Amino acid sequence: MMCLVEEEECIKDEQEPLLVNRLAKLLMMTFNHRLNVVKFNELKRYFGFPDDYLIRILPKYPELFRILNFTGKRTCMEIELVKWDSTLAVSVIQSLARERGEVEPCFTCCLPSTWEKSWERFNEFNRSPYISPYVDGRQFVEGSREMEKRSVGLLHELLSLTLWKKASILKLGHFSREFRLPAKLNVFLLRHPGIFYVSNRYQIYTVVLREGYNGSELIDKDPLVLVKKKFGELMQEGRHEYNQRRRALNLEKKKKKGMVIAKSGTKEQRSISQESEEDDRKGKQRDLYNPEERKRFYDVLFEEDSH
């Protein structure tokens, strides 16, 4: 466990420049280049930021960020971008287009070819020019095709910056003013199934970037994702070992009380209480078919009655 903690801290230190660029890109997509700290803390895990990023990372880059708080209240604290960096104002879609030598950046549809109507809507949407999410959205009319194109590009860029290429729709909705997101975000995302997948697993609405996954497998795994996966596997192993020890202790208690019955033909031993719990779970009653076990069972009952 300690080795994994040290590995995670080492990765966080190595990825500090990446986190700085990520935060700068997020601030560049907002209309006033500011983000409320309390709100951003709801999403910081998605982007890989540690709990102490305000005191450990931001003070090192005064030329890029500054903390504002005009009222003195903790809820009004904001992070502001001091310097605009044009080299960072390039979206993932634009970078891929440059790598492929494409003239016009465009979105990728990740749907089966049998979804004909969805493909038709996607192709029609993709024909209009791509609008960078780093362009000021206030110049577009609300509800226009240009505004829709910019909103799709912005959501695509936001999800691309996350570690798992997904985020809670409810938490994204808290930034509707800062990023000028559509009012009914759920409905908006469902209009573009080729780019976004909306999940309601565990009754939590989550938007997933389709191109970030191959089936259920994340394609581009961040080093922090790999470490967190190791943490999860280690916790599962610990939980399994804990359950095994608890079963062994319960069995030992039953042995001391003389309630354990040896099952013939196997080396395993089970208590009467464990047998009854299994019966309730399966919804049917079991009988002790072995004559020797049945005889021993009644001997135990009669001995208890005699006392």
Q: What's the number of domains the chain is made of?
A: 2
Whether residue 148 sits in one domain with residue 257:
no
| pLDDT score recorded for residue 229 | 65
Whether residue 253 sits in one domain with residue 221:
no
Asked if residue 240 belongs to a domain, the reply is no
Whether residue 159 sits in one domain with residue 30:
yes
Asked if residue 238 belongs to a domain, the reply is no
**Domain extent at residue 118:** 2-86+102-225
In the chain, DSSP assigns E strands to: 34-36, 65-68, 78-81, 166-168, 196-199, 206-209, 213-214, 217-218, 260-262, 269-271
Place of tokens 């570690």: 163
| pLDDT score recorded for residue 44 | 92
Q: Which pairs from 37-45 meet CB under 8 Å and 24+ separation?
A: 37/67, 37/77, 37/78, 37/79, 38/74, 38/75, 38/77, 39/174, 39/175, 39/178, 40/79, 42/171, 42/174, 43/167, 43/171, 43/172, 43/175
Whether residue 295 sits in one domain with residue 192:
no
Whether residue 274 sits in one domain with residue 153:
no
Asked if residue 121 belongs to a domain, the reply is yes
| pLDDT score recorded for residue 305 | 43
Asked if residue 236 belongs to a domain, the reply is no
Q: Which of 181, 209, 225 is the last residue of a domain?
A: 225
Asked if residue 177 belongs to a domain, the reply is yes
The verdict on pTM exceeding 0.95 is no
Asked if residue 237 belongs to a domain, the reply is no
Whether residue 263 sits in one domain with residue 132:
no
| pLDDT score recorded for residue 159 | 96
Whether residue 113 sits in one domain with residue 60:
yes
Whether residue 179 sits in one domain with residue 81:
yes
| pLDDT score recorded for residue 204 | 83
Asked if residue 91 belongs to a domain, the reply is no
Whether residue 204 sits in one domain with residue 116:
yes
| pLDDT score recorded for residue 290 | 56
Per-residue pLDDT of the chain (307 residues; tens, 9 = 90+): 445 454 455 555 667 888 999 999 999 999 999 999 999 999 998 998 988 899 999 999 999 999 998 887 888 899 999 999 999 999 999 999 999 888 889 998 888 888 889 999 999 999 999 999 999 888 888 888 899 999 999 999 999 999 999 999 999 999 999 999 998 899 999 999 999 999 888 778 899 999 999 888 888 887 777 666 665 656 666 676 777 788 888 888 877 777 655 444 444 444 444 544 554 454 444 444 456 655 565 555 555 444 4
Q: DSSP assignment, residue 130? A: P
Q: Which of 156, 190, 225 is the last residue of a domain?
A: 225
| pLDDT score recorded for residue 242 | 74
Whether residue 65 sits in one domain with residue 161:
yes
Asked if residue 297 belongs to a domain, the reply is yes
Whether residue 299 sits in one domain with residue 261:
yes
Whether residue 144 sits in one domain with residue 20:
yes
3 state DSSP class of 175? coil
| pLDDT score recorded for residue 11 | 53
Q: What share of the chain is helix, strand, coil (3-state, %, to 5)?
A: 55, 10, 35
Tell me the residue type at 73. K
